[in-house]
Every structure is written in C-alpha cells, then in structure tokens.
Amino acid sequence: MNVVLASSSPRRRDLLTEVGIRFHAICPQVEEQRQSGESAGDYVARNALTKAEWVAGRLDAEPGDRQVIIAADTIVLIQGKILEKPADRSEAKLMLTELSGRTHRVMTGVCMLHVQRSHAHECRRFVETTEVELRRLEPGDILRYIETGEPMGKAGAYAIQGRGRKFIERIRGSYSNVVGLPVERVMRVVEEWGGIVDWRPMADQRHIDSSGSSLHHSPQ
C-alpha cells in the first residue's frame, strides 16, 4: 500500500515521518474559498475532500494498485471568525493581537481515501478541534515574532511547534492537530486499511516527494 500526502506543508510531512508512516507527497492545485452560509467545520471538511479528490484523479502513473490519500485543511476560529494564513505582516499583527489573551479553536478537516486501481474504495472524513489559549502578548512580543518570519504561512499567524510555543498558555485536545494534522486518528485509519507504520528510529526513515527524490528527516 502506498500512502500519499495531498499537501505541500512541511509540518504535515514532519508529523507523518515522526509517527513512522512512509509516504510520498503531491501538492494539490485547488482553490480554497468559503461558500456563503458554510460553517467552519463544513468548510475545512470540503477543502480536504477537494484536495484528496484532486490527487486521486492523478494517480494513474503512481506505482501499486492500492493507495491511501491523506488530505487536510487547518484554520483558526475565534468567536465565529475564521483566521487562515496571513497575507502579509500587517495581517499577521492583526491576527496575533486578536488572539492575545484569549482562547480560540484550531480546526482541521481530514479526508482519507482508500483507492484501489484508480477507484475510491472507501472514504473517511472527520474534523478535529483543539482549544488553544494564548497568554496576553505585548506589542513588542508580536513585532519581534513577526520579524522571525515564522507567522507567515501559518493559520492564525503562529506555529505551536516553533517559536510561537512561548505564547501558549494551555491547550485542550490534540497537539498535532494544532500543528496541522491530527496524526493520532490518521494512524489508526492507515493501520486499519493495512498500511505499515515503520518503528525504526526517525533518522533511518525516508519519504519520497512527488518528483521522486528522497527527503531525509531527523528529529527536531
């Protein structure tokens, strides 16, 4: 069985590598646009499904008859307002100011497709939610953090696995979900479908990107 990650996110790649799932990655080319009246949960679930289906439609040239496609979409939600990736530093500052001293939710929609001979055999979809409380941030803290460049490309403009962890007061739920993929649930489905989890040390594991080149990961 071949596992395919439908994502270009290095955080999701690292999470799968850390739990011993061997995979290769394909970056889906899809538009993420919230529909009128669509709930946050429905939005991330639909985005994940769209990504998985995009990749599934391009697996003819991939080796093997059995594939598991993993796709995900992550957002930050605060009082009903969705925060995705900041467009620039000014937007990152606004997001972090809004999250300062408050509790928000991180929602990840996940779609997993079990594909056999180019046909979807089974589909699992779920939305994982984690509550995160940030301590009160001083304006200088926010500006210095933005200067590191880390907030860019991150939903809610922070990375819990990076320098942004110093802002975290507490979390309730899956830590990996805040990073970008609830690997606890993903692992269970992969094993249920007959996938193999590699128990070797992480330094000995490798995964293959869509161009076929080997990528090595070491523990962080």
Report, as residue numbers or ranges, the catalytic residues.
73
Give the C-alpha distances (Å, rounded to integers) separating 125 from 50, 99, 128, 186: 12, 28, 10, 10
Residues 6 or more apart whose Cβ sits within 8 Å of residue 211 = none
Contact 105, 129 (CB under 8 A): yes
Distance from C-alpha of 180 to C-alpha of 9, rounded to nearest angstrom: 8
Q: How many Cβ atoms are within 10 Å of 210's Cβ, its own excluded?
A: 15
Name beta bridge partners: 75: 107
Closest CA to 220 of 205, 202, 204: 202
Name beta bridge partners: 173: none
